[in-house]
Chain A
Amino acid sequence: MASMRKASAAVAFAASAALLLAACSSDDAGNDPTDAPTGGESSEEKEPVTLTWWHNSVAGDNGQNDLGDYWQSVADAFTAENPHVTIEIEQIQNEDLQRTRIPLALQSGDAPDLFQAWGGGELATQVESGYLMDLSETLADDVTRLGGSVAPWQYEGSTYGLPFQFGVEGIWYRESLFEEAGITEEPATMAELNEAVQALKDADITPIAVGAADGWPAAHWWYNFALRSCPQDVVASAGTTFDFSDPCWVEAGTQLEEFIGTNPFQDQYISTVAQTGATSSAGLVATGEAAMELMGHWNVFVYEGFTDGSDEAIAALHDDLGWFPMPATEGGAGDPSAALGGGDGFACYVDAPPECAEFLSFIVSDENQAGAAEAAGILPVAPAAAEAVTNPVLVELSQVAGNAAYVQLWLDTSFGTNVGGAMNDGIVGIFAGTGDAQDVVDLMTAAALTQ
């Protein structure tokens, strides 16, 4: 009995010693991504290859996962053509995937071969760290075919990922509520938007919903004012130079302050989230309590989530849902037709087998882009797949994107998590009344100086 106890104590001792050693060596493992067990070098033709693929399409509350199912069918089609390839898919919730799973996997050196990439500052950080495969030469044809939307996935002239969808943002609205308030035309200028806001208030309708508790939905208002007041080169270069000395950045905040001063938003907007529950900003629009919301192309699916899911309910929603681009402001050096947008893409890990690039090319092929638009309602990047978009609002949205003077990537994505986060915090301060236009620029400048 006594010897049993001693033996188990010795086992425990050894186990804890092993843990300590593991903890000590984890640093080294993280520093050397090249020793990852991915079979990169021995790429003899037809040698069995396994690709791991992480994407963010998870099943919703009602269990449906159109895009996830479509990705599975794309993987099946690829492996049917290339029997030596096996594809292992992992579906991971968006914030977990972007903020935790991918960064940790990349640092550990045991990363998935193909994974979701949102472009901009985050991609730049990953390239600087040597995590991503350069696809410029292997996928040169695809880069040309997909056109300008690839830019956020490029860094210093090289391409490190390809988008499968890209869309611009604008103001979604309920046509019936506009009618009720006697608004006959979509506002094209800020003066017209202010008139519409007043008309809706007179009709006892909440004019605009915003989910400021989540930060970024409020921040997007400021991004749009910045896009209208700053010249294109100032906005475009800010993501690399982090120079915010142009007075147009403060002007954006001043315009936002003026707009908030007209009380266009719902009560307690600082306490309102964007997408969860009927009292969220999307819920308020979906249930007809508020008339407008500034949001990206994905919001039509968020609104659909608040219906009972029946075809009639979704059709009725689509019938009553309108969309117009951010109105033009008075003055300002920005082009009034410029638009903000963003998208989703995939990138290959630096040590992934060459089949990763082949598969990525397959995913964004014209045929599969059209298929994804039909099956899951995405906004495809490939021009040849544009006809597959049938939702009239999304068709309008694509036309606006196509006719825009230029499309700027979401500013927080473009600036990266540090400066982008500082910017969003500052903007929420304006919404809460605890900060002003100058604070946003100061917080961004301070954050940029520390990185």
Chain B
Amino acid sequence: MTALEASGTGKGPVADAKASAAGSTPVTPAQHNARKDNRRKWIEIAIFVGPALLMFLAFVVFPMVMAARYSLYKWDSRQPFELAEFIGLDNYTRALFGGTDPETQEIFWKAYAEPFWNAVGNNAQIIALSMLVQLPIAMLIALVLNRKFPGRSSVRLIIFAPYVLAEVTAGLMWLMLLDPRGPVTQMVQGLGLPTPPQGWLEDPTWGFWTFFFIVSWKYIGLAIILFLAGLAGVPEELQEAASIDGASWWQVQWRINIPLIGPTVRVWAFLSIIGSIQLFDMAWVLNKGGSTNQYATIATLMVDTGTQRNDGGYASALAIIMFIFSMAAALLYLTLVMRRDNAARARKGA
């Protein structure tokens, strides 16, 4: 007789008693524990997710539903909402194509649809320029900074500094630099070069480009830091192996580093697109989107009509349109571009 058998027989009656007790009720000890665990799990979920969910409902979903409601009314936002008048989708048609009434369509187009599409165009241009201008520059700087050289960390710090600066601080700083008699103007004129006839930021043609320069200066640091983080994750062995096989520095970057940080680049592009659609702070600080809307975005137009013109219904409609744009951009990007990354991650997880 083995020790095991001995212990088994020794435990016999007790085990039987338990089994019979269990038999009299439908729940086995294992099932009982599972149900308890399940309940415990749900309580934990409720406790941990509940507050966040309520905050989300209160400060994101609720205002959004209210904005959707306001957008269907003619409402002077200084007046109580009972005085508002229901006008259906008029605010939307006014923004998109100047309303449905042929008599007023021409002036509504000029007063509402034109500024709206101008703002949409500015947003779209900023998205496109981010990909065409910011991405290559940021990538180049990140690749250079990825090499070891003395003073590397201070250079990284300097490049990241604008991103850390508060938007308002940076905006006021640029306003002073670009003042009609400010240092930038004087320096450029001192070199004998022409400056924009109506000033850097307010000139109808130059204003947008100056604005894009400032936005790029502000946000390129984020792209570089993200790319550097991605590059740090590229295994050194791969680069060494390629070098031993005779690949030049450029070939290493082009064939190994850049393809391997693809997921990072795609996440940056996603953040950049959403950020460009919602771009507000800098444009507002510089001069509320410009005196002739030369760098107005949908967000500045919305805040301007809502708080300066007090057209609460129309501003709410712009908010909803902007929400739809952001949502569509996010979903499209997630399904078309990032599906691959997510699928790869899912495979790895499994």
Contact = CB atoms under 8 A, between A and B. Distances in A.
Interface of A: 6, 9-10, 12-13, 15-17, 19-20, 23-24, 27, 30-31, 33, 99-100, 103, 106-107, 125-126, 128-130, 212-213, 215, 266-272, 277, 279, 417-418, 421-422, 428-429, 432-435, 439, 442-443, 445-447, 449-451
Given A213-B202, A272-B180, A446-B110, A33 B310 contact: no
Contacts of A212: 291
A-B interface, 5 closest residue pairs, ranked by CB to CB distance from nearest? A271-B199, A446-B111, A16-B54, A268-B180, A20-B58
Contact of B48 (A9, A107, A267, A269): A9
Interface stretch (B73-81, B219-227, B252-260, B327-335): B73-81
Contacts of B106: 442
A268 B198 contact: yes
A279 B179 contact: yes
B198 A447 contact: no
Given A13-B51, A16-B50, A23-B62, A446 B292 contact: no
A6 B47 CA distance: 8
Contact of B180 (A279, A417, A443): A279
Contact of A213 (B47, B108, B291, B307): B291
B20 interface: no
B22 interface: no
B318 to A, nearest CB: 13
A272 B181 CA distance: 10
A268 B291 contact: no
Given A16-B58, A451-B74, A268 B80 contact: no
Contacts of A433: 204
B25 interface: no
Contacts of A19: 54-55, 58-59
19 contacts: A16-B50, A16-B54, A20-B57, A23-B62, A27-B66, A126-B78, A128-B79, A212-B291, A213-B291, A268-B202, A270-B203, A271-B200, A271-B203, A277-B179, A432-B202, A442-B107, A446-B111, A450-B94, A451-B76
Contact of A31 (B74, B80, B94): B80
A120 B80 CA distance: 19
A179 B139 CA distance: 61
Contact of A13 (B54, B77, B200): B54
A399 to B, nearest CB: 35
A421 B82 CA distance: 24
B187 interface: no
B198 A434 contact: no
A433 B110 CA distance: 16
A23 B54 CA distance: 11
A13 B53 CA distance: 10
A31 B81 contact: yes
A418 B79 CA distance: 13
B280 to A, nearest CB: 17
Contacts of A442: 106-107, 110-111
Contacts of A418: 76, 309-311
A125 B54 CA distance: 36
A428 B111 contact: no
Nearest to A126: B78
Interface string B255-277: 00000000000000000000000
A28 to B, nearest CB: 10
Interface string B64-92: 00100000001011111111000000000
Contacts of A107: 78, 80
A23 B180 contact: no
Nearest to B47: A9
B329 to A, nearest CB: 28
Given A31-B82, A417-B309, A446 B112 contact: yes
A428 B110 contact: no
A443 B309 CA distance: 13
A440 B200 CA distance: 25
Contacts of A126: 78
Interface in B164-214: 178-182, 197-204
A432 B111 contact: no
A378 B309 CA distance: 29
A99 B306 CA distance: 11
Given A19-B55, A432-B202, 20 more contacts: A6-B47, A10-B47, A16-B52, A16-B54, A20-B57, A20-B58, A126-B78, A128-B83, A268-B198, A268-B199, A270-B203, A272-B199, A277-B179, A418-B311, A428-B291, A428-B292, A433-B204, A434-B204, A445-B107, A450-B94
A271 B180 contact: yes
Contacts of A128: 79, 83
